[in-house]
Amino acid sequence: MSDSPINPPIPSDLTAQLSNLTPQQQAFLAGYLWAESQRGGVPAAVATNGAAPAAAPKRPITVISASATGNAAGVAKKLVAKLEAESLDVKLTSAGSYKARQLPKEDIVIIATSTQGDGEPPEEGVPLHSYLFGKKAPKLDGLSFAVVGLGDSSYPQFCQCGIDFDTKLGELGGERLLDRVDADVDYEAVTDEWIDNMVAKLKEVAGGSSAAVAAAPAQAAEAASESAFNKENPFTATLLNSHPLVTDDAGRMVNHIEIDLDGSGLQYQVGDVLGVVTNNTAEVVDEVLELNGLSGDESIEGRKGSTSIRQALTEQSDLNQLTPKFISDYASTAENKELNALLEDKEKLQSYQAWTPAVGLMRDYPQKLDAQRLFDGLKPLSPRLYSIASSQEEVGEEVHLCVARVDIEHDDKTHNGSASGLLCDRLEEGDEVQVFVEHNPRFRLPQNNDTPIIMIGPGTGIAPFRAFMQQRRADDAQGKNWLFFGNRHFRGDFLYQAEWIEYRDQGLLNDFSLAWSRDGEEKVYVQDKIRENAQQFWEWLQQGAHIYVCGDASRMAKDVEKAILDVIAEQGNKDEDDAAEYLNELREADRYQRDVY
């Protein structure tokens, strides 16, 4: 008589076949058969003589990334890969693709988010953020969640979007699986530890018997199509051209930049951004070393192993942007009453931090730091990202940028931005520069070339719209095009003026509305032009137009959005809430896209 708990017993030939399966195949088959039996798809007699009860099915996990430049998305992908390796039931989605009203139906949600501008969510995370903080926010009593935030501690609202999501999900009834983690610019070590802790926790609370979830074919295809060059392995390109776009009396330097990508295999779409690897000048590094009484040869432990303090300051440390933590740590041993008083005044501290480079702090409140402490306190030097101002349909193996040099005036000295100074000043034609492409799928032209578009980009925010127009011309797009552009003066500040006039004369640019803030008695900005053209703006929206905004996130983007809401309310006869809902619907339909920074 057989000792098998299954009656009738499994046929011997099937048993032989099962013994030939790999452990992964056996795990898959076990999960598959369990799921089918729960649906009634695999009829089977259930033994009554001591069969072990089946394990509970796994709890589904949804990982949502809300990313501006791809860092948060990268963290989410790394987490998902590790969860899949543990055979957990997990799916990955971007916040831009996620339907917020699905949230109450979820079991476990993990959010990896960045923060942009003045504590705002990244563009693709706005609908989810608005839903959670709106009047229709759901009860989430059955939800388990965790949040990791990425940010930049040189900004006052450090990781604010992560704080928002974490706080609100808890307030709405969700159960926090792990405490939120906030990661700075040099985020990898922090997020790697969080991922390991998250995997351990999810194995504990979400385990079961279902099979490992295979990687989505789309994700695999996307990974396979990536160039060999990226942020971790940038391409050494050649500067082809750098020339000014403004007159000498414009008040600041703005250059058109052309870079040769030949041989890189790098592909970009209009709307993408270019990362530029930068470093600090020998002059600035020498001054920092001198102020701290260092020769530059002192050995320290850098972010890539042992190196000299001179090399680390040149390649790894941001000597322009201070963080509140560095100022506080510096003050702890400076023994300076004025600096201590500055720390007590939040408004003055923020202003000082924004307009003072690291060398300025050391000059204002001198003390000597040892090499390792100096390096450890400074913010990591990150690549700078620039909106691409060209279409490969027109420029081939080149990429064009529109770059304004950042000038910080402190203590009667001018300090240039490390990357903008490199591109506008220090590099000569033929010099090398390391670059990589960051894709920006939330800033794309309409798929239908007949769709009208409204482009709003003051200052260097005009860059992606130059690329848009090149692409529209290459595609022979029939959709109407309307540009809102603003700057200080018409004479000397109208970036790419000849090109825009040519587009207008060719009939490709149907309208442009120009705002010059210093040419008249009253300052005029692009948001004023939106209100001035309210009826036409609304008519274009009724015709299906897509709205694009590029430029400053802290003020311009907010003022422009307020103007758009005013137009919707006035022309659409809507109250404030209905106007906001209408704009959110445009955003969710990819008809309102922003590339703001």
Please say if the pLDDT value at position 62 is more than 70. yes
- The answer to whether domain 61-211 and domain 453-596 are alike in fold is yes
3-state per-residue secondary structure call for 333-360: HHCCHHHHHHHHCHHHHHHHHHCCCHHH
pLDDT value at residue 578: 95
Return the residue matching tokens 């050995």. 299
pLDDT value at residue 193: 97
Confidence tier at 203 by pLDDT (50, 70, 90): very high
**Is 151 known to sit in a ligand binding site?**
yes
Please say if the pLDDT value at position 595 is more than 80. yes
The whole-model pTM stands at 0.83
Residue 573 token pair: 């006869």
Angle, helices 126-133/160-171, rounded to nearest 10 degrees: 40
pLDDT value at residue 330: 96
In 115-174, the DSSP E strands lie at 144-150
**Is 159 known to sit in a ligand binding site?**
yes
**Is 562 known to sit in a ligand binding site?**
no
Long-range contacts from 468-471, C-beta under 8 angstroms, 24+ separation:
468/270, 468/271, 468/391, 468/548, 469/499, 469/503, 469/508, 469/509, 470/270, 470/390, 470/391, 470/393, 470/394, 470/395, 471/270, 471/391, 471/393, 471/394, 471/445
The stretch 577-596 carries a mean pLDDT of 95
**Is 161 known to sit in a ligand binding site?**
no
**Is 74 known to sit in a ligand binding site?**
no
Task: Kindly state the DSSP code that residue 122 receives in the 8-state scheme.
Answer: P
Confidence tier at 249 by pLDDT (50, 70, 90): confident
**Is 386 known to sit in a ligand binding site?**
yes
**Is 83 known to sit in a ligand binding site?**
no
b or e along 3-13 (b: 16 or more beta carbons within 10 Å of the residue's beta carbon)? eeeeeeeeeee
The stretch 199-220 carries a mean pLDDT of 63
**Is 402 known to sit in a ligand binding site?**
no
User: What distance in Å separates the CA atoms of residue 584 and residue 467, rounded to the nearest whole number?
Assistant: 26
User: What distance in Å separates the CA atoms of residue 208 and residue 302, rounded to the nearest whole number?
Assistant: 43
Which of 98, 104, 99, 101 has its CA nearest to residue 67?
A: 98
Task: Kindly state the DSSP code that residue 277 receives in the 8-state scheme.
Answer: -
Are 298 and 308 within 8 A, CB to CB?
Answer: yes
Confidence tier at 556 by pLDDT (50, 70, 90): very high
Strand 61-66 with 90-94, pairing? parallel
CB neighbours of residue 503 within 10 Å: 21
**Is 523 known to sit in a ligand binding site?**
yes
Q: Is the dihedral of CA 484, 488, 490, 496 positive or negative?
A: negative
**Is 158 known to sit in a ligand binding site?**
yes
Single-letter amino acid, residue 134: G
User: What distance in Å separates the CA atoms of residue 345 and residue 350, rounded to the nearest whole number?
Assistant: 9
User: What distance in Å separates the CA atoms of residue 512 and residue 495, rounded to the nearest whole number?
Assistant: 13
**Is 150 known to sit in a ligand binding site?**
yes
The stretch 212-225 carries a mean pLDDT of 40
Which of 563, 593, 565 has its CA nearest to residue 468?
A: 593
pLDDT value at residue 250: 76
Confidence tier at 40 by pLDDT (50, 70, 90): very low
Any idea which fold 61-211 has? Rossmann fold (3.40.50)
Please say if the pLDDT value at position 15 is more than 70. no
Looking at domain 235-277+383-438, which CATH architecture does it have? Answer: Beta Barrel (2.40)
**Is 189 known to sit in a ligand binding site?**
no
**Is 505 known to sit in a ligand binding site?**
no
**Is 67 known to sit in a ligand binding site?**
yes
**Is 384 known to sit in a ligand binding site?**
yes
Any idea which fold 453-596 has? Rossmann fold (3.40.50)
Confidence tier at 23 by pLDDT (50, 70, 90): very low
Please say if the pLDDT value at position 262 is more than 80. yes
CATH no. for 282-377: 1.20.990.10
Please say if the pLDDT value at position 481 is more than 90. yes
**Is 420 known to sit in a ligand binding site?**
yes
**Is 69 known to sit in a ligand binding site?**
yes
Spell out the residues 6+ positions from residue 7 whose beta carbon is closer than 8 angstroms to its own: 45, 47, 49
Please say if the pLDDT value at position 200 is more than 60. yes
**Is 114 known to sit in a ligand binding site?**
yes
Please say if the pLDDT value at position 197 is more than 90. yes
**Is 156 known to sit in a ligand binding site?**
yes
**Is 385 known to sit in a ligand binding site?**
yes
Q: Percent helix, strand and coil across the chain, each rounded to 5?
A: 40, 20, 40
**Is 155 known to sit in a ligand binding site?**
yes
Q: Note the pLDDT tens digit of each residue in 395-423.
A: 999 999 999 999 988 888 888 999 999 99
**Is 71 known to sit in a ligand binding site?**
yes
Q: Note the pLDDT tens digit of each residue in 64-81.
A: 999 988 899 999 999 999
Single-letter amino acid, residue 292: N
Helix or strand holding residue 371 (H, E): helix 371-377
pLDDT value at residue 33: 52
Q: Tell me what percent of the residues of the chain surpass a pLDDT of 70.
A: 87
Q: Note the pLDDT tens digit of each residue in 377-387.
A: 999 999 999 99
**Is 70 known to sit in a ligand binding site?**
yes
Confidence tier at 45 by pLDDT (50, 70, 90): very low
**Is 339 known to sit in a ligand binding site?**
no
Higher pLDDT, residue 224 or 524 = 524
Residue ranges of the domains in the chain?
1-54, 61-211, 235-277+383-438, 282-377, 453-596
User: What distance in Å separates the CA atoms of residue 545 and residue 64, rounded to the nearest whole number?
Assistant: 29
Q: Note the pLDDT tens digit of each residue in 272-314.
A: 999 999 999 999 999 999 999 999 999 999 998 999 999 999 9
Which of 195, 188, 224 has its CA nearest to residue 84?
A: 195
Q: Please, what is the average pLDDT of the chain? A: 89
**Is 117 known to sit in a ligand binding site?**
yes
pLDDT value at residue 9: 59
Residue 214 token pair: 């295979």
pLDDT value at residue 16: 56
**Is 417 known to sit in a ligand binding site?**
yes
pLDDT value at residue 46: 40
**Is 504 known to sit in a ligand binding site?**
no
Q: Note the pLDDT tens digit of each residue in 95-151.
A: 988 999 999 999 999 999 999 877 899 999 999 999 999 988 999 999 999 999 999
Which of 264, 215, 199, 204 has its CA nearest to residue 238?
A: 264
